[in-house]
Amino acid sequence: MKLLLIFLTSIGIFLFSFTPNVNELSPERSFAVMQSDTLKKDKETGLVTDENLYLVKAQCTNCHNSKLILNNRFTRDGWKQKIRWMQQNHNLWDLGETEKPVLDYLEKHYGPTIASTRRAPLKNVKWYKLEQ
């Protein structure tokens, strides 16, 4: 009886160690995670550090904090539209020469990513009736 128990337990442990890990990330996702892990973040704002960060901090964190940037993903054009929208409605000033590097920064680090966009809808799906 004791032996049988030990036997069954070891089979259990054996099988358990082969169960695939459900939480394993798909390649694209783990790439996105890896990438975001290697990029340095600014301590104060949480924004990615690069040579244009100081401009973005100067132009974009006066009225609201950086979370509004961090929570969004837009294309370059999308970011430009947001800037125009703030200029029209919220007294955002003309960014002048800094607009280009600010957009470069936003496009590079806060553009739509694989992890933040949905896949394209499936095309040519062939539906079939389930037989009962």
Chain positions contacting ligand HEC, by CB under 6 A: 59-60, 62-64, 68-69, 72, 82-83, 86, 90-92, 102, 106
Min CB(69)–ligand HEC separation in Å: 5
Cα-based torsion angle of the residue sequence 26, 29, 30, 31 in order, rounded to the nearest 10 degrees: 120
Question: Are the C-beta atoms of residues 75 and 112 closer than 8 Å to each other?
Answer: yes
Q: CB 74 → ligand HEC: shortest distance, Å?
A: 7
- Residue 11 or 63 having the CB closest to ligand HEC: 63
The nearer residue to ligand HEC, 48 or 102, going by C-beta atoms, is 102
CB of 78 to ligand HEC, least distance (A): 9
Nearer CB in complex with ligand HEC: 48/60 = 60
Give 41's strand partners.
48
Q: What are phi and psi of 64, to 5 degrees?
A: -140, 165
* Count of positions (residues) in the chain: 132
The residue among 31 and 49 lying less far from ligand HEC, judged by its C-beta, is 49
> For residues 56 and 105, is the Cβ–Cβ distance under 8 A?
yes
Rounded to whole angstroms, the Cα distance separating 127 from 41 reads: 47
Shortest distance in whole angstroms from residue 66 CB to ligand HEC: 9
